[in-house]
Structure 1
């Protein structure tokens, strides 16, 4: 299945009056996720909850403190990397061909107008969901090869939080010793996200406890993939959980050995440029700038 987007026709927001738009958008978003699930083979349940956590199912969500935007909160570098890797598979040859990767691992578009068009595709529910599915599929392949078993939605969610290589390390440790301190296995991530790895009393959480906190996000009910009754968050332009997104980006910086002040694009590029974090290369779409606040941590 391919997804064809007509250039210059990406103005999703503002096309409808607000009352009509909320209903129409909810159906469009759910249909987009269902289509992405069918075309990439990634579980609808997973893609739906990922979008719900990251953007409140709002395709126009935008983080105020980073370049993250759209249904799955792709940052600039992550989006360009994903589009370069998988765009042609979804009828976006023009976008994939316009993107080049520099010697430093960063992705570029030489023409400013073309870059703007490519970045605007993040607000298309269809394109964003398709790229999110491709990234999750890549992560799934990577984790299954490393773990020697099928992955669960929570495993994939961990890959978005820790990066594919970090998730593989965490999950291997979980399989062998679930009661071990999660902070001892992932010290950099724990340093950046103490509220995930320790409880309010300062007690270290085990690998199993951390994992189950993520798993709880996928226990909520999911609408049928064929239904169009999904309710979406109000179509604001600023994502309501920016603080949580910033926390996740701090964690990514720590995992990459950079500082909290490092830009998201730099952290993303470092992760995408790591051979151990790719399967296949480059590891597309760090959809995750996970909304940790919605985890209740």
Structure 2
């Protein structure tokens, strides 16, 4: 069982906890809040324990096993998860391994922990953003980050390079494997191939629609929004959650006492 599997955060509902986690990850990494929220809605409908039926994809952001081990190996130590990153090794073929099966499962189960999943997704997006901006010589927009999630960062770089030069060109011929696996994305209902601009615009629309609402009111007994505010903004989520966490004596985690300290370090790091 994951060290974080049973973490509780006061009386907050699952939905509130998820949006708080995403806002804190956004502030910590600088990755756009709306993008992270939209991606989580698309991938898991904001369900922290979502599991794909056709792959190992799990959690808010549907990381597969190898992708998760890779991002924990790279960034885990920055968030109090050095015990996890230290246990991960990479073989000559590029695959990631954890020698201890029980520890490996604990690390993979962190995908179900909203705070960890959100900040690792944000760090992964930040890495992709830096890569794309270096290759494209322009700012990467949220839709570009989602294309990196969909095609891989190398594929997205290739896609966007052509898009920026010839947006009206058809994309299927450049990505035949992706087009075969995702026909509705690369072809319209009549069977005509979509252009690079069409595909990017459709992804942008989908992402904008998914990030358009926060899915319910957020209520806290001892925290209030700024005077006159009608909606909760990312900064409000961060402020309220940081305030609530600072007022808690401890963060309850079972089954091992030492895991409480690990989780507290994780949350404290996010709140910086």
| TM-score > 0.5 by shorter chain | yes
Q: How many residues align?
A: 216
In 2, distance between residues paired with 1:8 and 1:158?
32
Cα 1:200–1:75, aligned 2, differ >3 Å: closer, same or farther? Answer: same
In 2, distance between residues paired with 1:218 and 1:83?
26
Q: 1:46 maps to what in 2?
A: 35
Once the two structures are TM-superposed, the CA of residue 122 in structure 1 deviates from its matched residue by 0.8
**Range with bigger deviation, 187-196 or 151-160:** 187-196
Q: 1:161 maps to what in 2?
A: 150
Q: Could you give the per-residue CA deviations for residues 211-265 of structure 1, whole angstroms, max 9, x where no partner exists? A: 111010232314422359xxxxxxxxxxxxxxxxxxxxxxxxxxxxxxxxxxxxx
Once the two structures are TM-superposed, the CA of residue 137 in structure 1 deviates from its matched residue by 0.3
1:140 pairs, out of 129, 150, 157, with 129
Q: 1:109 maps to what in 2?
A: 98
Q: Could you give the per-residue CA deviations for residues 58-82 of structure 1, whole angstroms, max 9, x where no partner exists? A: 1011112221111111111111111
Q: 1:62 maps to what in 2?
A: 51
Q: 1:130 maps to what in 2?
A: 119
In 2, distance between residues paired with 1:195 and 1:51?
21
In 1, distance between residues paired with 2:111 and 2:124?
14
Q: Could you give the per-residue CA deviations for residues 174-214 of structure 1, whole angstroms, max 9, x where no partner exists? A: 11111111112322321222221111111111111111110
Question: What TM-score do the two structures reach when normalised by structure 2?
Answer: 0.75
Q: 1:75 maps to what in 2?
A: 64
2:206 pairs, out of 217, 220, 229, with 217
Unaligned runs of 5+ in 2: 215-232, 239-272
Does the aligned pair in 2 maintain the 1:173–1:185 contact within 8 Å? no
Q: After the TM superposition, list the runs of 4 or more consecutive aligned residues in structure 1 that deviate by more than 3 angstroms.
A: none
Question: What TM-score do the two structures reach when normalised by structure 1?
Answer: 0.69
Instruction: State the structure with more CA Rg.
Output: 2
Does the aligned pair in 2 maintain the 1:46–1:218 contact within 8 Å? yes
Give secondary structure in 2 for the equivalent of 1:141.
Answer: helix
Matching of residue 8 in structure 1 with residue 3 in structure 2: yes
Unaligned runs of 5+ in 1: 1-6, 229-297
Once the two structures are TM-superposed, the CA of residue 165 in structure 1 deviates from its matched residue by 1.1
Q: 2:219 maps to what in 1?
A: none
